[in-house]
Amino acid sequence: MVIIIVFRFEQSFKVCLCQICGYKRLKAEIEIIRTTKYDSQNEEHEEKLQQLWTLLMPDVKLEKRISKQWTEIGFQGDNPMTDFRGMGMLGLNQLLYFASIYTEKSRNLLSHSKHPKYGYSYAIVSINMTSLLYEILSNGALRTHFYNIKTEKPSLQDFHEVYCYLFLEFDKFWFDEKPKDIMEFGRVRKKFKQEILHRLMSESTTVLKMDISKES
């Protein structure tokens, strides 16, 4: 009996150690991506941006790299690279992940964002969700989620999946709040963050997981 208890303790300890170390490694990996600035001279960066346009706007040709067309998917001006300053390549990578893995969902959200009364800037809000996710990763609040979804170390894909969850949930939250205009974004974001933190802290079994399957 004692041997069984000791064995179970050792196994649990190994899992905990793996998860703790994995969380720290994930934070370090994400920090490197976040601090990597978008470089218009980098072919890979430019290709990712073009892929994003193609996935979200399959029937509309991007006439040129610097174009007001970018505002159609929620960037502030004619050059998206200026909007990635705070989150660096992490902001673009997560936009692209969502559009690549959940293509129809991402297009649906883009459509929602153009609502005549409750519209918002799709790309800017996405980058803001990346920022929010980075915040709750940095303060340790995401441990609850990651420790519950797997016994191994969390991966970058696991992190991207939480981002997709947050973006989808924020879209619902935004429309439920019925903001007067986009100037209320700060208030709604703050309330949304409190709701997410409450979910993570109120239940030890909390998992932030989308209720949709991946598209082929």
Full DSSP string of 25-53? HHHHHHHHHHTS---TT-HHHHHHHHHHH
Token pair for residue 102? 């959940």
Q: What is the pLDDT of residue 204?
A: 65
Average pLDDT rounded to a whole number, residues 84-99: 96
Choice between 2 and 144, residue whose per-residue pLDDT is larger: 144
Is it the case that residue 91 has pLDDT exceeding 60? yes
- Contact 146/15 with Cβ under 8 angstroms? no
| Rg of the chain on CA atoms, in Å | 19
Report yes or no on whether pTM surpasses 0.85.
yes
Place of tokens 């069984």: 4
Q: What is the pLDDT of residue 7?
A: 38
pLDDT, one tens digit per residue, over 62-72 is 999 999 999 99
Taking the C-alpha atoms of residue 45 and residue 182, their distance in angstroms, rounded to an integer, is 29
